Amino acid sequence: MKITLKDGSVKEYGEAKSVYEIAKDISEGLARMACAGEVDGQIVDLRTELTEDCALNIVTANDPEGLRVIRHTASHVMAEAVQRLFPGAKIAIGPAIDDGFYYDFDAEPFSREDLDRIEAEMKKIIKEGHVLKRQTMPREEAIRFMQEKGEPFKVELIEDLPEGSEISFYDQGGFVDLCAGPHLMSTKGIRAFKLTSSSMAYWRGDSEKARLQRIYGTAYNKKEDLAAHLERMEDAKRRDHNRLGREMELFTTVDVIGQGLPLFTPKGTKMIMKLQRWIEDLEDNEWGYVRTRTPLMAKSDLYQISGHWDHYKDGMFVLGDEEKDKEVLALRPMTCPFQYYVYKNTQKSYRDLPYRMSETSTLFRAEDSGEMHGLTRVRQFTISEGHLVIRPDQAEEELKLCFDLAYHILDTLGLAGDVTFRLSKWDPENKKKYLGDEVYWETTQNALREVLREKNVPFEEAAGEAAFYGPKIDIQAKNVYGKEDTMVTIQLDCAIAENFDMYYIDQNGEKIRPYVIHRTSLGCYERTLAWLIEKYAGKFPTWLCPEQVRVLPISDKYEDYANEVLRELKANGIDATVDNRSEKIGFKIREARLDRLPYMLVVGQQEEADRTVSVRSRFAGDEGVKPIGQFIEDVCREIRTKEIREEIPEEAHG
């Protein structure tokens, strides 16, 4: 057989060879680094025997897939360590993930001290250097094998596989785990690892099933790479909006109110108000929108017309019982069906279109308790929602304008460089989930694809991510831990007008069905605030800060002047306070810096005499003395233009 290597060279063998044997034949050093093989584009175990001509690439720890193999093997070592230390623990699943690995156990919760003990035991197992051996069994034998070992979760996984399947296992010196692989040749291949945290998880992600304990870890080929990763994780913890937002007193949650129902404090409320006022003024005054205000709930009749009752009911809060009550209501999960009736309130002609409606919409969705997190996934949230009723010939231009508006907002917030773009398509294998036929979906998907191409942004396509009524352009971003969420969405809907008998009168006096664009401009205010907290680590651009300036009198004698400065700041729309505590000025400055304030104005005898302020900022440290009018003019310009000033390093503040 002929084996074509990555560099184009060819190796010939007269008998079957494993991937590992071929790696060893190429070079002993390569064999030591080898983690897996890539055969004709497919990742395979090093133990895989090759029997016919193929293209082969030896995957090492320098490759992302090689790193996944190291982490997968580390998860098995961790599972063995747990069962050595906690013999009653039952194992569930333990995959490699983007930045590490995890394993789920039916056991008591693990403490940090437990994780340290497990780490120490893992080091022993790695040092023992067990060779990992792959073996297979027929399905029925595999079920009996795991039943005898007392592993009910593994039994369930095997029972879900088709009858007649050959089931693979990996044995690492007596610890045997159900697994498809691939794995390293020996536990000694794990050179740098760390267990990072533990949490509760549901078996198979179902809240109706067993509660398990999940241990997270990560592994790298080099200690230096592990150290760099752990430093990134520490930075992520410092930036985590769920911690930092509470620490900065922007929001809180209360058990008796409920999960996914955050309370915004005055500071957090002010930030959201600033965002909301900006978006509303932008849309209404510059982008041609009209503003609506619609109910927070409606009868089930409305959702039956829109299709939400059939396609989205499980995600809604329903008020009443269909079998007992004459009238069943539901809190709205989106605003579109309400705005359709605003459009229908008066007859429209072709000259009235596009008719762009926008609303600051509070919505409700029955998120699973296991899915909720901080401000990124909640049960009540507010979005900059809009629906554009358009003529078919306006679709291309209006879709582009929706994209431009969203990008302008992201760019102004300093977030445009952090996003990726996705064309979310239907799943043709699950047609019952969607409205419309194949022609409808191909037509609408092509329209959105062309917008992305014309805007010259890289994008991926994802089947099964569309709304039930149409495809979407989703603008995605990751949080500090790498989890991706949709921040902004633009959807094309060419079918819904029929359901609501929406039409416009064309130039010939005929009734024509319009198209609808569903879109957000900023997206969800709660999720955006979380994003901003993590992006800026709480050091927001001045215009967004709930407190923009703090006046610091050197002593009580200058309180009157400090309050006079405060009045002038507030008269010019600047959010400011005075720190009139009887503390030393150095202490006040340190406190203001810890509060991440953009500006501090120190005032004393000379400043009062000269009608000036001594300016300190996050951006330049000591900015010197300025007339109060000059400072106000500079800051108002910064706020008006929404400038994002560059921060100086913390140590440069002096």
SS3 of residue 49 by DSSP: strand
Is it true that the peptide bond before 337 is cis, omega within 30 degrees of 0? no
Q: Is the pLDDT reported for residue 652 higher than 70?
A: no
The mean pLDDT of 499-528, rounded to a whole number, is 95
Q: Is the pLDDT reported for residue 344 higher than 90?
A: yes
pLDDT at 647: 84
Helix or strand holding residue 590 (H, E): helix 585-594
Tell me the pLDDT band of 369, cut-offs 50, 70 and 90.
confident
SS3 of residue 138 by DSSP: strand
Q: Give CA–CA dist 514/16, Å, rounded.
A: 64
pLDDT at 310: 86
For 622-643, the pLDDT digits (tens) are 999 999 999 999 999 999 999 9
Q: How many CB atoms lie within 10 A of CB 100?
A: 22
Q: Is the pLDDT reported for residue 653 higher than 70?
A: no
The more confidently predicted of residues 263 and 98 is: 263
Q: Is the pLDDT reported for residue 651 higher than 60?
A: no
Q: Is the pLDDT reported for residue 522 higher than 60?
A: yes
For 216-225, the pLDDT digits (tens) are 999 999 999 9
Helix or strand holding residue 42 (H, E): strand 42-44
Q: Is the pLDDT reported for residue 545 higher than 90?
A: yes
The mean pLDDT of 49-74, rounded to a whole number, is 92
Report field, pTM of the whole predicted structure over 0.75 = yes
Q: Give CA–CA dist 512/502, Å, rounded.
A: 8
The mean pLDDT of 95-121, rounded to a whole number, is 94
For 4-56, the pLDDT digits (tens) are 888 889 888 889 999 999 999 898 889 889 999 999 989 999 999 999 999 99
The mean pLDDT of 529-554, rounded to a whole number, is 97
pLDDT at 367: 87
What are the helix (H) ranges across 106-257?
A: 112-128, 139-148, 152-159, 223-239, 241-247
Task: Give me the chain's average pLDDT, please.
Answer: 93
Q: Is the pLDDT reported for residue 391 higher than 80?
A: yes
Q: Is the pLDDT reported for residue 589 higher than 70?
A: yes
Q: Give CA–CA dist 588/552, Å, rounded.
A: 7
Q: Give CA–CA dist 46/331, Å, rounded.
A: 55
Tell me what percent of the residues of the chain surpass a pLDDT of 90: 83
- The one-letter amino acid at 311: H
Tell me what percent of the residues of the chain surpass a pLDDT of 70: 99
